[in-house]
Amino acid sequence: MKKARKNIEGSEREKYAELRDYLNQILLSNLGSTVHLDTILMPDSLPLFKRVYISFEACKKGFVLGCRPFIGLDGTFLKGFYGGQLLTAIGQDANNQIFPIAYAVMLETRDNWKWFLDHLNNDLGNYMVHGWNFISDQQRLCLEFIIASVLCIFGIISQRDGRTNNSKGYLNKLDLKNWTKANFSEWPKVDNVTNNNCETFNGKIVKYRGKPIITMLEEVRTYVMRIVARNKKILSGYIGTVAPRQLSRLEREKEETNKWTPTWSGDDAEDIYEVEKHPTKLTGLPCRHACAALALRGRKPEEQIHDWLGMHAYNTAYQMNINHSGHNNRTCQQKKDDTLDEEVALVAKAAAAAAKSQNQPKQNTGEPTSEVNVA
């Protein structure tokens, strides 16, 4: 079994020697993409692999131009012989679907996370200028502390429980805007409280995490390519200005408008109404109170959504595509023509017959082969 797997997927150790060639192929086939390979120089042997970072031009440009400034960060363990982690940065498009931005292979340490985020910052632009908002899996730790505090309040666990003391001290150190929804920033137009985007991505690539590094990276690249191609196609014939999932959410708010009666304040522009709280800034969608006021004036709530939730932003995010990483049996491009004329069909049939009857082994074409070590 191991021998068959090695013949199909290649040796884990040998794949590292081919890594630089693979990354060069990505740069050649996907112009504008970013790859960084970091190694450790050894005095008496070949350099050792340390970390690698990959971000495709289609992902970088699509996120900056068409997605909300909201990025999920996470790391997942690799199951191969050499271990390590796959770090990911995942965005969210206008239709609330995952949008991969960048990924890297390394050990999950503070220094490596800084290296990863530095490259991400260089690719997307300064986070302070663009206002990128981040969420990580640290919410789990925060949630555990919150649960412990709530249990303590209701007398379910003892005050002497260590979790209670730790939770109080931990939460007191955090800014409220980092863990309470009521204090979230209104800028990204996202009300997510969990990092499910990264968890979804990690769940889809779980079967690739035990493969040799190039095979694993190629499988991840193919999955990212499928996401971009699928999301581009799935709404290609959609007619409307609001992304479908946002429209569905807006419709649920509109159904509640009959429970609210807006009262005009008397302003000349007729824009100010008395309708409870107005939580539209967090999500970018009009709430039920705003929908009631808009209905009173005969205006459509769809006209009041934020630009980041519209179809223009969605289509902008998927205006580019990810190309194959090189020419091989699995990823080579095969041209398909649905309107082959009779002459081309005859030529193809003759070529197939000749190949089938040929029993001689393939001859050496004279093309040089090379193996580039990680350096």
Res 360 pLDDT > 60: no
Residue 308's pLDDT is 82
Residue bearing the bigger pLDDT, 80 or 216: 216
Residue 55's pLDDT is 97
Helices (H), the chain: 2-9, 12-17, 19-29, 57-66, 110-124, 127-130, 139-153, 162-173, 196-204, 213-234, 244-254, 280-283, 288-296, 311-317, 342-357
Residue 139's pLDDT is 53
Average pLDDT over all residues of the chain: 76
Res 27 pLDDT > 50: yes
Residue bearing the bigger pLDDT, 39 or 185: 39
Place of tokens 């390394």: 106
Res 221 pLDDT > 50: yes
Dist. CA 305–CA 285, nearest whole Å:
5
Which pair of structure tokens corresponds to residue 95? 């239709």
Residue bearing the bigger pLDDT, 260 or 111: 111
What is the distance of C-alpha 164 from the center of its chain?
Answer: 35
The answer to whether the pTM exceeds 0.85 is no
DSSP state of 248: H
Dist. CA 240–CA 183, nearest whole Å:
32
Dist. CA 342–CA 339, nearest whole Å:
9
Residue bearing the bigger pLDDT, 198 or 351: 198
Residue bearing the bigger pLDDT, 346 or 194: 194
Dist. CA 142–CA 110, nearest whole Å:
19
Is residue 159 a contact partner of residue 151, using CB atoms and an 8 Å limit?
A: no
Residue 280's pLDDT is 52
Average pLDDT value for residue range 260-280: 68
Average pLDDT value for residue range 125-146: 70
- Exposed (0-12), middle (13-18) or buried (19+): which is 295, by Cβ within 10 Å? middle
Is residue 242 a contact partner of residue 310, using CB atoms and an 8 Å limit?
A: yes
Which pair of structure tokens corresponds to residue 325? 């990483």
Is residue 59 a contact partner of residue 35, using CB atoms and an 8 Å limit?
A: no
Average pLDDT value for residue range 345-363: 48
Residue bearing the bigger pLDDT, 192 or 147: 192
**Domain ranges (residues) in the chain:** 2-135+197-237, 138-194, 244-309
Average pLDDT value for residue range 92-120: 93
Lowest mean pLDDT among 121-125, 150-154, 250-254: 150-154
Residue 168's pLDDT is 64
* Per-residue pLDDT reduced to its tens digit, 305-316: 888 888 888 899
Residue 7's pLDDT is 55
Residue 120's pLDDT is 95
Average pLDDT value for residue range 173-197: 76
